[in-house]
Amino acid sequence: MNHSAAEVAGAREVAGGVFVLTSGAYALNSGIVLGWQEGPALLVDPGYFPGDLDRIAAFLDANGAGCPRIVLTHSDWDHVAGVARWPGAGVTASSAYPQRAAVAADAIHRSLADFDAKLYVRRTPPFSIPSPSSLVGSPSDMVWDGPAIRLLPAGGHTPDGLMVLVREHRVLFAGDHTSDLEIPFVGDSFASYRDTLGRLRGLFTGGRAEILVPGHGTVCGRGEALERIDEDQEYLARLESWIHETRRTVSTLEGLLDRADEVVFRKGWDNPEVRAGHCANIALAARLHGIAG
């Protein structure tokens, strides 16, 4: 293993042969799991800036990893941006990924193009939405020449969520769940999000996971992971309870959004994008209670 290459790449080793590179774009975490005997490495959500991708590629070359395998935790634009850097890679995603990526294709392209234009990013090769070569619809073991990997479908943030557990090192790549920077962004359903948080709790209390790598934010150990799970569960419960009570006197979405600050949260309170996500959560919960926008 070439540790000097990791230092040059800016990758942090969180367990033996398991590295995390954090981008300047939304503190996006990319995972690198080295395979055996200089075989292909496994990348999780490689991104985001071309410089990030160049550093990952140089690290792989220094470790003789060749063309990698890639797992996508979901189809949000920032998580799929870097796949084109490795056109020969086998890509694994959730079985719900093709439908979600097709429905959201215009939004994915527009969001990435807008972000790149704002920051003067020139992307070569041009971005295209990745087409997975394998899909996962239930908890499955990944077949590859490296440490045992368990792939776990995880709804809540998006319907095509997928978590990646490096079993022997007990490292969990959780996608866009349990960040220390963001509240839950519920793009799928509240019930699915609660189910995922429950499964996350079981992984950490049962000893199957000890290190949490969120899609965005800080890598942490078991104690803090459980605290984040508690905080996210409590936020969702308070938001849904608030909707249930407030709808007795407020009958419109506009009225609810005017009072959105009544549901106080810690993570990202002063961040406009997190506040927008909070309002989107309220809008989703309102629709479930029959309040249309």
* Residues 7 and 63 reside in one and the same domain: yes
Domain containing residue 69: CATH number:
3.60.15.10
Spatial distance between the Cα atoms of 15 and 284, rounded to a whole number of angstroms: 38
Q: Which domain holds residue 53?
A: 1-147
Please, what is the end-to-end C-alpha distance for the chain in angstroms? Answer: 55
* Residues 111 and 218 reside in one and the same domain: no
Instruction: Answer whether residue 204 is part of any domain.
Output: yes
pLDDT at res. 156: 97
* Residues 277 and 183 reside in one and the same domain: yes
pLDDT in tens, the chain (293 residues): 555 556 556 899 999 999 999 999 999 999 999 998 778 899 999 999 999 999 999 999 999 887 789 999 999 999 999 999 999 999 999 999 999 999 999 999 999 999 999 999 999 989 999 999 999 999 999 999 999 999 999 999 999 999 999 999 999 999 999 999 999 999 999 999 999 999 999 999 999 999 999 999 999 999 999 999 999 999 999 999 999 999 889 989 999 999 999 999 999 999 999 999 999 999 999 998 888 76
Spatial distance between the Cα atoms of 175 and 200, rounded to a whole number of angstroms: 12
The DSSP code for 68 is P
List phi, psi (to 5°) of 29: -100, 125
* Residues 11 and 132 reside in one and the same domain: yes
Spatial distance between the Cα atoms of 80 and 74, rounded to a whole number of angstroms: 8
Spatial distance between the Cα atoms of 253 and 220, rounded to a whole number of angstroms: 37
* Residues 219 and 121 reside in one and the same domain: no
Please give the distance of CA 283 from its chain centroid, rounded to a whole number: 22
pLDDT at res. 2: 56
* Residues 191 and 119 reside in one and the same domain: no
Provide the domain count of the chain.
Answer: 2
Q: Under 8 Å CB-to-CB from 242, ≥6 apart: which residues?
A: 262, 263
* Residues 70 and 195 reside in one and the same domain: no
pLDDT at res. 256: 95
* Residues 137 and 214 reside in one and the same domain: no
* Residues 133 and 262 reside in one and the same domain: no
* Residues 209 and 68 reside in one and the same domain: no
Biggest distance spanned by C-alpha atoms of the chain = 65
